[in-house]
Amino acid sequence: MSMADDVFVRLRGFGFDSNWRASFEALDLDGCAPARVVSDGRDAWRVATAAGELLARVAGRLRHDGADPPVAGDWVALEARPAEGSGTIHAVLPRRTRIARRAAGRDAREQVVAANVDVVFVVSALDRELNARRIERFLALVYESGALPVLVLNKSDRLAEGLADPAAVEAIAAGVPVLRVSALSGDGVAALEAHLAPGKTAALIGSSGVGKSTLVNRLAGADLLSTAPVREDDDRGRHATTARRIVRLPSGALLLDTPGLREVGLAGGAESLSRVFEDVAEIAASCRFRDCRHEGEPGCAVRAAVESGRLDPDRFESYRKLEREAAYEVRRSDPLARAEELKRWKVLFREYRRRQGGGRGSGDSRE
């Protein structure tokens, strides 16, 4: 067996396959070997190599090129120094999937949270009132990443203590598997494990306090991650997880936990929204105008559905809000989209001025 074949075999447990091998070999970097980032930090990354885990830093050239820093789940080209327990990352392989969000702030850049994830468990807790609008945001985040979403309603053993309405949440997750589990007791966890497979990577995302770390420990069969109780005064969770980390499960699957996300700014486009809001998209197909913005245009089927009660007005407003965020991100990153939006506003402003001028010229007066 050649050295390359030996590396391939040793890294298969971390998801290294023939496509990743071809991607790595295409870089043609002498002295480097493939490795996977299993946890990320500000200045150092723990990576899994054929010889074991090492602590790595990013090469100065890669840092100065302005490329995104490696994140948990990335495959990288590593110059390894096993005797020192360290290495240097010289390149990040093209990502198959990427979970990204826009951080808080008007000018904040996109943040990649995790990479090369196959399935994402969106975790909420049943011991509190479920926030349907926040779940919609998380689902849009997952669809934009390219991974498959699964909605996990944790703490099913405490449902009677909370204000949650699971049926209402299941109604907004059309086409998405919805699992009710208790990480504490283990109830329903087998259904979650059915979405895991050897060499495949799953990620957990959700607000703090929903029990993600407890769920990781349950799946791992050991207390690998620390947990923290929910504050009784405001029902908010403490951040038990402070860094992203990949855990290898007894089944051979890989699981990535993430810190609770306080802000979930969308960094994606409209396609992911159409998958989260399939009901709105289906109704919108009946609008008189194909480019209907649902802002009062004649023949708007969506507005008619809201007025008749067929479409929940809160869900429609959530769709509109996320649509505006997605459009803003597109304009911010695409000069042509910005120019088109500016052109649209100029037309609207000219029409407004024309109407105002016409009113004054007609001799119309106000008392």
Rounded to an integer, what distance in angstroms lies between the CA atom of residue 56 and that of residue 85?
9
pLDDT for residue 200: 96
Pull the structure tokens for residue 316.
């429609």
State the pLDDT at residue 360: 44
Strand residue runs (E) in 50-191: 52-58, 75-81, 86-92, 98-102, 110-115, 119-125, 148-154, 178-180
Closest CA to 59 of 69, 47, 74: 69
pLDDT in 10s for each residue of the chain, 367 residues: 677 888 888 999 999 999 999 999 999 999 999 999 999 887 899 999 999 999 999 998 887 777 788 999 999 999 999 999 999 999 999 999 999 887 655 555 678 889 999 999 999 998 887 888 889 989 998 999 999 999 999 999 887 666 667 787 888 887 899 999 999 999 999 999 999 999 999 999 988 888 998 999 999 987 776 554 554 444 444 444 456 889 999 999 999 987 755 556 665 566 788 888 989 999 999 999 888 888 888 899 999 999 999 999 999 999 888 888 777 766 665 555 445 545 554 555 565 566 666 544 444 433 3
Q: Residue 13 to residues 224, 252, 278, 334: CA-CA distances in angstroms?
A: 19, 7, 37, 39
CATH 2.40.50.140 residue window(s) in the chain? 3-92
- Please count the other Cβ atoms lying within 10 Å of the Cβ belonging to residue 299: 11
Q: What is the pLDDT of residue 110?
A: 77
Structure tokens at 201: 């990577």
User: Which of 258, 206, 268 minimizes the C-alpha distance to 73?
Assistant: 258
Contact between 317 and 308 under an 8 Å Cβ cutoff? The reply is no
Question: What stretch of H or E contains 36?
Answer: strand 33-40
Distance CA 320, CA 28 (A): 47
Residue 40: how many other CB atoms lie within 10 Å? 23
Architecture of the structural domain at 277-360: Orthogonal Bundle (1.10)
- The boundaries of every CATH 3.40.50.300 domain in the chain are 98-257
Q: What letters, b where the CB count within 10 A reaches 16 and e where it falls short, cover 141-167?
A: bbbbbebbbbbbbbbbbbbeeeebebe
Instruction: Write down the architecture of domain 98-257 according to CATH.
Output: 3-Layer(aba) Sandwich (3.40)
* Identity of the residue numbered 28: D
Closest CA to 192 of 173, 169, 220, 171: 220
The pLDDT, as a whole number, for residue 295 is 84
Whole-number pLDDT of residue 188: 95
Q: How many CB atoms lie within 10 A of CB 117?
A: 28
Q: Which two tokens stand for residue 356?
A: 């105002």
Residue closest to 244 by CA, chosen among 209, 202, 210: 202
SS3 336: helix
Quote the CA–CA distance of 192 and 177 in Å, as a whole number.
10
Amino acid at 258: T
Dist CA 168 CA 130 (whole Å): 9
Burial class from Cβ neighbours inside 10 Å (0-12, 13-18, 19+) for residue 15 reads buried
Residue 172: phi, psi to the nearest 5?
-90, -5
Residue with the two structure tokens 């004054």: 360
Q: What is the DSSP letter of 165?
A: -
The distance in angstroms from the start CA to the end CA of the chain is 94
Q: What pLDDT, on the 0 to 100 scale, is given for residue 231?
A: 43
Classify 56 as helix, strand or coil. strand
What is the pLDDT at residue 239?
44
Taking a C-beta distance cutoff of 8 angstroms, is the pair 225, 240 a contact? yes
Q: Please provide the DSSP assignment of 241-289 as one string.
A: --S-EEEE-TTS-EEEE----S--B--S-HHHHHHHTHHHHHHHTTSSS
Residue among 290, 280, 264, 291 at smallest CA distance from 205: 264
Please provide residue 84's backbone torsions phi and psi, each rounded to the nearest 5 degrees. -95, -10
Tokens of 179: 């699992």
Name the CATH superfamily for 3-92. Answer: Nucleic acid-binding proteins (2.40.50.140)
- Which residues, at least 6 apart from 231, have a Cβ–Cβ distance to it below 8 Å? 209, 237, 238
